[in-house]
Chains A and B, each alone.
Chain A
Amino acid sequence: DAKTTQPNSMESNEEEPVHLPCNHSTISGTDYIHWYRQLPSQGPEYVIHGLTSNVNNRMASLAIAEDRKSSTLILHRATLRDAAVYYCILRDQYSGGGADGLTFGKGTHLIIQP
């Protein structure tokens, strides 16, 4: 499985933008880049995903490098409720036989200061 590398932790101030980086230098052409987050005592929550182009939704934006070897999750205006562990994961669109269990790394622990 292609792997991702994320910083262990990041700290930001409330109401400021947050840029969470992810490196995935061994990404394949059919791998989608997925981001999930896990708030304390909750299950992981889907945030956003993309293949090649930058993506926006109501939660965040995903900026993907032209060579696709890295990506950045952007929270435009962090709130205290955004404090969570953020996971960057690769998901093969064409997994053999439909087998596509996600492999979670340790993620980035995002701390938001009031």
Chain B
Amino acid sequence: QKEVEQDPGPLSVPEGAIVSLNCTYSNSAFQYFMWYRQYSRKGPELLMYTYSSGNKEDGRFTAQVDKSSKYISLFIRDSQPSDSATYLCAMSAWYGGSQGNLIFGKGTKLSVKP
């Protein structure tokens, strides 16, 4: 079993829809949870970050972490064509006084149709 599982999609939604993207993980030591957005032929850019459990909201984006279920989600409200990209979840643990390396999901390709 991979440490981080993410459905690669593709996922196609109409403009204005609510999008739900998810990842599951197996390593209970993970404490830092991130979502990166990657546009075609570009590098990933950090979109959302959550430490431990809970929710975080930033504009149209909400990140949720459920450590008991080892499940993280990213919700996009009022989706726009400009949200069309690949979304990568990433997570890491805390080891010996420093943050460990990131483990990435495979990414979910999202297309928002006008």
Whether both chains belong to one complex is answered with: no
